[in-house]
């Protein structure tokens, strides 16, 4: 396979004639390996209660500056990537949560990626949203400060993603989505290589399996983005 230049986007690569030829050849290979038409698949059932069963889901601690007369807030929120370049993320927060009100007030926050070593403090934070003034003290997590935004960080987290909100979308009946630009990303030494690429085995990340509510660490590597077209440069 011919390695494409790193500057080439996914879309431009797919539009190139060589890429089309390669994908055509790969498609023929995949079709040849497809299971016989008579293959019997397991029976599918409909659940009594529909749910957003899309595992795994990122396990993230959001930190945001508090009010003048209150403590900084730390909370667990739904998180997703919006864009790689420019770097943008989104978070979904319940309208009654303290974190949501503070994000609207300050317009910036930090996403702190936890590890398996702090899964109990992580759950302590999640189960005490809005019930206690200082969840840093309750969970035993260490408060530090961000580098580009006016917000706290979790010292135990190997990755801090500092964000500024550029849009807010109300989501009926009870939530708001905050879209934010990533203005700084800091990591512990050893978490990324010299090019800034994440070294996954270096940190024991975990995620939640939406559908069971359980936490699992990363399993074995089974592939990477662009593997079918000879790409190895895509990080986001």
CA distances from 120 to 114, 125, 219 (A): 11, 9, 20
Q: Could you tell me if residue 42 is inside a domain?
A: no
Q: Where are the alpha helices (DSSP H) in 59-183?
A: 98-106, 119-126, 135-139
Q: Could you tell me if residue 32 is inside a domain?
A: no
Asked if 225 and 234 touch (Cβ cutoff 8 Å), the reply is: yes
**Domain at 164, CATH number:** 2.30.110.10
Give the H or E element holding residue 10. Answer: helix 10-15
Asked if 176 and 77 touch (Cβ cutoff 8 Å), the reply is: no
pTM, two decimal places:
0.82
pLDDT tens for residues 128-173? Answer: 976 688 999 999 999 999 999 999 999 999 999 999 999 999 999 9
pLDDT tens for residues 189-203? Answer: 999 999 999 999 999
Could you give the number of structural domains in the chain?
1
Q: Could you tell me if residue 207 is inside a domain?
A: yes
Q: Could you tell me if residue 167 is inside a domain?
A: yes
Q: Could you tell me if residue 40 is inside a domain?
A: no
Q: What is the largest CA-CA distance in the chain?
A: 68
Q: Could you tell me if residue 72 is inside a domain?
A: yes
Identify the domain containing residue 63 by its residue range: 58-217
């Amino acid at each position: 396979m011919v390695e494409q230049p790193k500057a080439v986007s996914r879309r431009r690569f797919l539009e190139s004639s060589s890429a089309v030829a390669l994908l055509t050849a790969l498609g023929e290979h995949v079709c040849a390996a497809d299971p016989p038409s008579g293959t019997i698949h397991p029976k599918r059932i409909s659940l009594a209660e529909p749910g957003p069963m899309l595992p795994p889901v990122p396990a993230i601690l959001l930190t945001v500056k508090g009010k003048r007369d209150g403590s900084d807030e730390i909370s667990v929120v739904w998180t997703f990537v919006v864009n790689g370049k420019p770097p943008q993320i989104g978070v979904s927060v319940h309208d009654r949560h303290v974190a949501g009100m503070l994000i609207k007030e300050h317009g910036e926050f930090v996403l702190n990626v936890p590890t398996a070593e702090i899964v109990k403090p992580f759950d302590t934070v999640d189960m005490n949203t809005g019930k206690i003034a200082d969840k840093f003290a309750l969970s035993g997590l260490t408060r530090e400060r961000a580098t580009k935004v006016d917000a706290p960080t979790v010292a135990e987290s190997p990755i801090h993603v500092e964000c500024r909100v550029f849009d807010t979308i109300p989501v009926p009946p009870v939530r708001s989505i905050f879209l934010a630009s990533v203005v700084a990303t800091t990591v512990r030494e050893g978490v990324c290589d010299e090019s800034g690429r994440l070294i996954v085995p270096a940190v024991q990340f975990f995620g939640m399996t939406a559908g069971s509510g359980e936490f699992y660490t990363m399993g074995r590597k089974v592939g990477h983005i662009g593997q079918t077209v000879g790409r190895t440069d895509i990080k986001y």
